[in-house]
């Protein structure tokens, strides 16, 4: 959540910056008005408490002098009633302010390019030229079905559309990619974790999914109605430290988190209806970083290079783009996307995102650190990055390493994990 101090200092500047996202954030002026009312009530309450203390002293004096304090006691009671009334108004104002701020996205970093949508994203660099095929390349789902390593039909029977059964060498390839990514990132100093696949409402709120996107989540019909299927490893991993104060020497705190993720894909009707690009359930390896504020953008650059390294070792053509203001995620201040080349579509498609949320998530989740033993706690900066989306990486391998006979060459770095060099017809 954005710092209310920024609104107090210059609400018009905050509105101007947020409007670059493509919305109208003039409603934040209401926050300023509510905050003025709030501070006025706080001042009034403090004054009444002081008055009550003074009257209490007087009552004590009267009792010592054997005098009747009954009239003054009535006055104390009325002061208490007034304080209680104002406290209730204060709680209402606090809740209204919090509700508005929770539904307000992060302020973008000054380096984010201004634009309306993905068409205005800025290409920063590319790696490898897309391969030229002597034949018409097939889609990953055509290849997967022909090789009998991906079964969408039976998955649909088991659950519904946008699910898949990985079979034989398809399952082994998915598992190999997970292990390869986890091994690679732990060598870069990340602590390996496998978090819960189920998260609660507070966890979703802390990372910015709730309340704005509550209708897009998979809610579990359990007894307390407070459990949701995890949409990304970012949610459980960042919330491991919710309501904690970290020590300075713990930072940067780096996790590489493997999880199965679940998304409703409510806004993708008619898009990528076949294959693995948009499924309701997918595996993901995620990089999470808790950083000192002054180091977070250096960390962002390191993380994008670490994510790129996965594709470089797999020798897959990709490009890195800086997302423009109109294409930015709700909770993020700056984001890079990695887009991998898919021959069947003749275009680059997103395979991972690396983002800096600055202190936005930390404020929502109350995640702080202390620079010195008795220093005042400060909010950390949180960063997350795909390391990568496993299913989409498998898609890229199938399509870029396909042969004219429908077989798939295994990337060299995966051969130790796979135990084979090629997937032949029918997964042989």
Closest by CA to 203, choosing from 230, 173, 168, is: 230
Whether residue 392 lies in the annotated active site: yes
Rounded to 5°, the CA angle 118-124-126 comes to 100
Distance from C-alpha of 422 to C-alpha of 401, rounded to nearest angstrom? 10
Q: Based on the domain organization, do 241 and 348 belong to the same domain?
A: yes
> Which run of H or of E encompasses 348?
strand 347-356
Let me know if residue 107 belongs to a domain. Answer: no
- Cα-based distances in Å from 344 to 186, 240, 400: 33, 40, 9
Per the CB < 8 A criterion, the answer to whether 304 and 311 are in contact is no
3 state DSSP class of 406: coil
Per the CB < 8 A criterion, the answer to whether 319 and 312 are in contact is no
Among 139, 296, 325, 353, the active-site one is 353
> Total structural domains in the chain?
2
Among 8, 96, 175, 278, the active-site one is 278
Let me know if residue 17 belongs to a domain. Answer: yes
Q: Based on the domain organization, do 51 and 191 belong to the same domain?
A: no
Let me know if residue 28 belongs to a domain. Answer: yes
Let me know if residue 78 belongs to a domain. Answer: yes
**In this structure, are strands 253-262 and 281-291 parallel, antiparallel, or unpaired?**
antiparallel
Residue 221 confidence (pLDDT): 86
pTM, full prediction: 0.91
**161: which DSSP letter?**
S
Whether residue 291 lies in the annotated active site: no
3 state DSSP class of 58: helix
Distance from C-alpha of 98 to C-alpha of 80, rounded to nearest angstrom? 27
Per the CB < 8 A criterion, the answer to whether 215 and 266 are in contact is yes
Let me know if residue 395 belongs to a domain. Answer: yes
**309: which DSSP letter?**
H
Q: Based on the domain organization, do 64 and 193 belong to the same domain?
A: no
Last residue in a domain, options 77, 102, 127: 102
Last residue in a domain, options 102, 135, 159: 102
Q: Based on the domain organization, do 94 and 126 belong to the same domain?
A: no
Q: Based on the domain organization, do 98 and 128 belong to the same domain?
A: no
3-state secondary structure 190-221: CEEECCCCEEEHHHHHHHCCCCCCHHHCCECC
Residue 81 confidence (pLDDT): 82
Among 21, 172, 263, 363, the active-site one is 263
Let me know if residue 109 belongs to a domain. Answer: no
Closest by CA to 229, choosing from 263, 195, 277, is: 263
Closest by CA to 126, choosing from 340, 303, 297, is: 340
The tokens describing 17, both together, are 């910056």
Query: Which distant-in-sequence residues (6+ apart) come within 8 Å of 81 by Cβ?
Result: none
Query: Which distant-in-sequence residues (6+ apart) come within 8 Å of 132 by Cβ?
Result: none
Q: Based on the domain organization, do 141 and 80 belong to the same domain?
A: no
The tokens describing 189, both together, are 């100093």
Residues in the chain: 428
Among 162, 257, 392, 399, the active-site one is 392
Distance from C-alpha of 333 to C-alpha of 357, rounded to nearest angstrom? 5
Among 98, 244, 295, 350, the active-site one is 350
Q: Based on the domain organization, do 320 and 248 belong to the same domain?
A: yes
Last residue in a domain, options 42, 74, 102: 102
Per the CB < 8 A criterion, the answer to whether 141 and 156 are in contact is no
Closest by CA to 310, choosing from 423, 190, 427, is: 190
CATH of the domain at 363: 3.30.930.10
Whether residue 344 lies in the annotated active site: no
Per the CB < 8 A criterion, the answer to whether 107 and 18 are in contact is yes
Let me know if residue 391 belongs to a domain. Answer: yes
The tokens describing 365, both together, are 């989740």
Q: Based on the domain organization, do 51 and 145 belong to the same domain?
A: no
Provide the residue-wise pLDDT of the chain in tens; the chain has 428 residues: 999 999 999 999 999 999 999 999 999 999 999 999 999 999 998 888 887 777 666 666 666 666 666 666 666 677 788 888 899 999 999 999 999 999 999 999 999 999 999 999 999 999 999 989 999 999 999 999 999 999 999 999 999 998 999 999 999 999 999 999 999 999 999 999 999 999 999 999 999 999 988 988 999 987 677 899 999 999 999 999 999 999 999 999 999 999 999 988 765 555 666 889 989 999 999 999 999 999 999 999 999 999 999 999 999 999 999 999 999 999 999 999 999 999 999 999 999 999 999 999 999 999 999 999 999 999 999 999 999 999 999 999 999 999 999 999 999 999 999 999 999 875 45
Q: Based on the domain organization, do 174 and 64 belong to the same domain?
A: no
Whether residue 172 lies in the annotated active site: no
Output the CA torsion 32→205→207→182 (10° steps).
180
Per the CB < 8 A criterion, the answer to whether 176 and 394 are in contact is no
Q: Based on the domain organization, do 63 and 170 belong to the same domain?
A: no
Domain range for 135 is 118-427
Q: Based on the domain organization, do 177 and 59 belong to the same domain?
A: no
Q: Based on the domain organization, do 150 and 33 belong to the same domain?
A: no
Whether residue 263 lies in the annotated active site: yes
CATH of the domain at 43: 1.10.287.40
């Amino acid at each position: 959540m954005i710092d209310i101090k920024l609104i107090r200092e210059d609400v018009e500047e905050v509105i101007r910056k947020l409007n670059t996202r493509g919305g109208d954030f003039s409603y934040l002026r209401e926050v300023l008005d509510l905050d003025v009312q709030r501070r006025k009530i706080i001042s009034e309450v403090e004054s009444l408490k002081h008055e009550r203390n003074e009257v209490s002293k007087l009552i004590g004096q009267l009792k010592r002098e054997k005098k009747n304090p009954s009239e003054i006691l009535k006055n104390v009671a009325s002061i208490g009633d007034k304080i209680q009334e104002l406290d209730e108004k204060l709680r209402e104002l606090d809740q209204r302010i919090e509700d508005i701020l929770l539904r307000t996205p992060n302020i973008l970093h000054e380096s984010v390019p201004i634009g309306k949508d993905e068409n205005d994203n800025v290409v920063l660099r590319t790696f490898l030229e897309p391969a030229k095929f002597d034949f018409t390349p097939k889609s990953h789902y055509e290849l997967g079905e022909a090789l009998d390593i991906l079964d969408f039909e039976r998955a649909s029977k088991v659950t519904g559309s946008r699910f898949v059964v990985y079979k034989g060498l398809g399952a082994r390839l998915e598992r190999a990619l997970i292990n390869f990514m986890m091994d690679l990132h732990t060598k870069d100093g990340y602590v390996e974790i496998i978090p819960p696949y189920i998260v609660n409402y507070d966890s979703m709120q802390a990372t910015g999914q709730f309340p704005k996107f509550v209708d897009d989540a998979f809610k579990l019909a359990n007894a307390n109605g407070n459990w949701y299927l995890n949409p990304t490893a970012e949610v459980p991993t960042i919330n491991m430290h919710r309501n904690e104060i970290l020590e300075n020497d713990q930072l940067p705190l780096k996790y590489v988190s493997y999880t199965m993720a679940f998304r409703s894909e409510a806004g993708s009707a008619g898009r990528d209806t076949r294959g693995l690009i948009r499924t309701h359930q997918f595996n993901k390896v995620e990089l999470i970083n808790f950083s000192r504020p002054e180091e977070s953008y250096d960390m962002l650059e390191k993380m994008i290079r670490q994510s790129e390294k996965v594709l470089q070792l797999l020798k897959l053509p990709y490009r890195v783009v800086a997302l423009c203001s109109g294409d930015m995620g709700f909770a993020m201040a700056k984001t890079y996307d990695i887009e991998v080349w898919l021959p069947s579509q003749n275009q680059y498609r997103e395979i991972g995102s690396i983002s800096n949320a600055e202190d936005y998530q930390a404020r929502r989740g109350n995640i702080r650190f202390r620079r010195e033993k008795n220093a005042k706690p400060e909010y950390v900066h949180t960063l997350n990055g795909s390391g990568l989306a496993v299913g989409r990486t498998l898609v890229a391998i199938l399509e870029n390493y396909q042969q004219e006979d429908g077989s798939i060459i295994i990337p060299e770095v995966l051969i130790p994990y796979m135990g084979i060099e090629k997937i032949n017809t029918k997964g042989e």
